Amino acid sequence: MSGSLDAGAAQALVLDRLRGAAPDAPLAELELASRWLVEAELLGLPDFGIGMLRRDLDRLTAGPSAAERAEPPVTASAPATASIDATGRPGIVALARATESAAQRAAANGSAVVGIRGAGALGVLGLAARGLAEQGLVAVIAAQAPPIVAPWGGTQPVVGTNPIAIAVPRPDTPPLVVDYATAPATMAALRRHRADGSALPAGLAIDAEGAETTDASRLAALVPTSLLGSLTGLVVELLAGVVTGGRGAADGTRGAILIAVDAGGTGAADVAAGAARFADEWRAAGGHLPARFDALPPRTTALAGRIALDGTTTAWLDGIDSTGGAR
C-alpha cells in the first residue's frame, strides 16, 4: 500500500536509519545526508531518494557490521586537499563528510579539493553543490561509476553515467545549480526497464555485438548522444575516477571529486551579482535556465510538504521487514 509522509517526519526516520548504518559519523553530517534524501523525494526524484538508500544499505549487508565500520577517514595531503575512503559506508554519508570537509577547507584556504573513493550511491549531486553555494562558495562535484557507456563511435562500455553538478551563489535568490548526467540515461532508469520489461528508447543502447537494441536485458552499453557528451563523460572519469583512485574498483563502488572555491580570491569582485547578471543574459538570449532546485528551502530552514512513498519503503523506514515482523 502506498501513501504519503510529512517531509520532516520522513527525514527523522531516514536519520534513524543512517545512525544505525554509520553510528560513528557526526550527527551534523547524518542530518545533512538525510535531508538530501528527502529533498530528492520532494523534487520528484525517488530513484535518488529513500529507495536509493535502501539499496545502498543492502549493498553493505555482506560487509562489516555497522559497529565494526570505522568513520570514513579523511586523509589530508595539504591544507586545501583531502581524500576520503568511503569503503563500507553509505555513499551519501561519505558525500556529506566530503562536503563538510570541503567547506571548512575552503573557508580557511580560499579553495578546497576533496576526493572520495570506494563510495556507493551518492544521490543528487546538485543538492550537495547547492549547499556549498549557499555558504558563498562556487562548487563543482562530479562522480564516476562502473562502466556502462561506450565512447563516441565505440562499441564497448568504458565509463559510467558520470554526473556533474555546478552551483554558484546569487544575491537574494537560491544558487544557480546545473546538474546533469553525461550519459543519455541513468542506472536507475535502466533498472526500471529491466524490471518491468519495457522497451528502451531507440538509439539509446547497443548489445554485445554492437547492434542497436531496445531490449534492456540485452543491453551491453549505452551510446552517448553526442561527441560533446562523450568527452564530458571522459573529463568526469579523469577527475572523479583517475584522480581520486576510484576508477576500476572491483566491487562496483565509485569515485567522486568536490571542488569548492571562494571566488573572492579568483578575481571576481562579486561572483553572486555576476552570476545573476549572466542568468538574465542567458534568459534574454532564449536559453533555458535550470531552476528545479529553486523550490527547495535553504538548508537552514526545515523541510515542509509531503512525499509519496510505496508501502514497502514506508514499512522499511518504520523498521518492519517484508514479512511484517520488526527488524
pLDDT value of residue 112: 97
Q: Are 87 and 113 in contact (CB under 8 A)?
A: no
pLDDT value of residue 249: 86
pLDDT value of residue 63: 62
Q: How many CB atoms lie within 10 A of CB 108?
A: 11
pLDDT value of residue 259: 98
* Residue 247, H or E segment: none
How many residues can be counted in the chain?
327
pLDDT value of residue 283: 97
Residue 210: all three cell numbers together: 554492437
pLDDT value of residue 324: 41
pLDDT value of residue 322: 41
Residue 273: all three cell numbers together: 551579482
DSSP state of 295: G
Nearest to 308 by CA among 123, 126, 121, 40: 40
pLDDT value of residue 320: 54
Q: Are 86 and 245 in contact (CB under 8 A)?
A: no
34 vs 93: CA distance, rounded Å: 9
From the first residue on, what is the mean pLDDT of each consecutive set of 10 residues in the chain (327 residues)?
A: 84 95 94 98 95 93 58 77 93 97 96 96 98 97 95 95 97 96 88 90 92 93 94 97 91 94 88 96 97 94 93 83 42
Nearest to 11 by CA among 45, 51, 38: 38
pLDDT value of residue 2: 64
Q: CA 71, 94, 186: angle at the middle one, nearest 5?
A: 150
230 vs 78: CA distance, rounded Å: 33
pLDDT value of residue 78: 84
Residue 137 Cα to chain centre, angstroms = 18
The single residue listed with the C-alpha cell 556533474 is 164
